[in-house]
Structure 1
Amino acid sequence: MTTLRAAAAASTSHVPLLRRIGASAPAMRSRAAGSPNYRDGQFRSHEPTHWVAAPEGEDLGHPAVAAYRSRGRGRPVGAIPVVRPEWPEVAAELAVTWLGHATSLVELDGHRFLLDPVFGERVSPSGRVGPRRLHPSPCRVADLPPLDAVLISHDHYDHLDEPTITELERTLRPRYVVPIGVDLHLECWGVPPERITTLDWRDTTTIGDVVLTCTEARHFSGRGFVRNQTLWAGWAMRGPAHSVFFAGDSGPTHRFEDIGRDLGPFDLTLIPVGAYSDHWPDIHLDPAQAVRAHLDVNRGDATASVLLPVHWATFNLAMHWWSEPMRWARRAAAEHAVPLLAPRPGTRVPLGDDAAGAVTTAAVDPWWESCAAAEDHD
């Protein structure tokens, strides 16, 4: 794994900053103008979304001061165990491989979908500074199996990675399904428009016999100094026999209930549980809110679906302890009888009646305890 990390760092450290940033603001504004979700010069969530806020009546201090005081909390003290994934020749009816942070490979009714692929060393416009991986990627882009499509939720660096897109184009040249405006970033990096499908909230496209629906989220976007010129989204994936929901990045929103009513329930949900803070309560879900979102998109049925918590462990992006998201998520899931997966990065988990052993192992193995700081425990 050290070799993978060294190779990634060497191949991405000299990429020009402007190339990493992607499309220009004027081009994105022109692309966004026709969407009903683009108002007063920017995309907007259905609820007000404040990037930095504090609960009413609370004085949390400046986020920069809080970040300084909590420095080091978001890092493990031991090596994070990763597994080199192995995929079958033919995609399963339902399986998932979490590769770290939000990056996941979903097998759905014989199709393969790669979600928010980030294989680079840093989530930053620079290859030399910015949040760096806390564990190596479990595999290289070149190790991935054939893909039916790459789905991207939004354009933040920890979800849309220029070096990864460049490598995907060099190797697999997949089809991409993205929210409005993200297509312009991809085109800047050499992806031909004919391999990009661009959708607004509640637009759909079909790949094989799987229907993909772009769903609402409460978040924001931007890779440079201009925000909210591209859309952010989640993805509902429904095949003939199974269905999956990927929430992307989102704060708490009543739209999860709408998604459940219109598109749910789902056999599997992938919902972010990390990088939350009282300083930005509208931007990311905390683990309890993630469990609530899982229930909402499944119409309140705790037994309808398995929850895979994502968006934790790989990058230090907030002020909570490193393993806190998973420990909290397990408590919240148990309280509501929600089946929860907690695989080591790179572990492929087959799902369904014939995969109970794999699901049980991925649910009960507390692998993070051995690499968490002593203070990072209940």
Structure 2
Amino acid sequence: MKGPAIFLAQFGGDTAPFDALAPIAKWAADLGYKGIQVPCDPRFIDLDRAATSQTYCDEINGVCADAGVVITELSTHIQGQLVAVHPAFAPQFDAFAPSHLRGKAQAEWAAGECIKAAKASRNLGLSVQVGFSGALAWPYLYPWPQRPAGLVEEAFAELARRWTPVLNACDENGVDYAYELHPGEDLMDGASFERFLEATEHHPRVGIAYDPSHFVLQQLDYLAFIDLYHDRIKAFHVKDAEFNPTGRQGVYSGFSPWAERAGRFRSLGDGQVNFAAIFSKLAQYGYESWAVLEWECAIKSPAQGAAEGAPFIRRHIIEPTPRAFDDFASADTSRDELRRMLGLQEEPAA
């Protein structure tokens, strides 16, 4: 596993060092990070140029190298979100796209941006892109009033139709699309991921950006999840969370603000996620990509969370053992000896 790395999305801003790639890369390196996950944000990357110019991408990689970091993945969370937006949420998401685009035109633009990111990833020497799936069925998550037969199936069929051109472009460019399974997206857990996988006919580029914090808030077994889906996990957000139900609120938290919810995100080490077990399982299954801090704490400052994140991740990364601990006691044994140990050696004839 590679790391530590940091996702820049929550740290981008309008003042130095958070307003351009070179200074924010240097800031991350100074905190001890070796990699940066870069959102497709014009402050950090010109996506049109990156999709078409190898020279420009070589320059970007040079800027990062000079700072002491590498790019781990490009993030199209915002663009992916806009590939599928239920009309109920459109007013909240319209600000993320050009103002003249709405509905189908916005979705087509967003898919095009994800395709550009796949081409840019290839030019940058990357093999994974991370993002959201968007959502058409999310308003119907709770099955009351009763959902009409076929509603969910049609939603996932449409989601697959919209994403298949992106996934095909990813395949052409040698890039996996790792969906962050997240409440608010139609891909939120293992069951919904399987629906999408089936709808895309098990497209080889459909991957998972594993983030245990979202599973804590859903009360899902995030360790068993790795056992089930480790072959599809292509990226890893190291983010903590806690779930403290009371007599007043549980998973849904009664519309409370983040700091007052039963389930809330925390900085690394301040929540309930068993990272020792997660890093062990990922090492067991041969995960070789990046461990990337995502900071979204409801209490602690981003500056403190970022500063504490690099050493936390570094402590948890496991170097897989090259040999078994009891190899010292091994010895070459012939087949005859093996059969004798099992009591299968035939007695010589009288």
TM-score for both structures, normalised by structure 1:
0.34
Higher relative contact order, structure no. (Cα contacts within 8 Å, ≥ 6 residues apart): 1
Larger Rg: 2
| Structure ranking higher in helix proportion | 2
TM-score for both structures, normalised by structure 2:
0.37
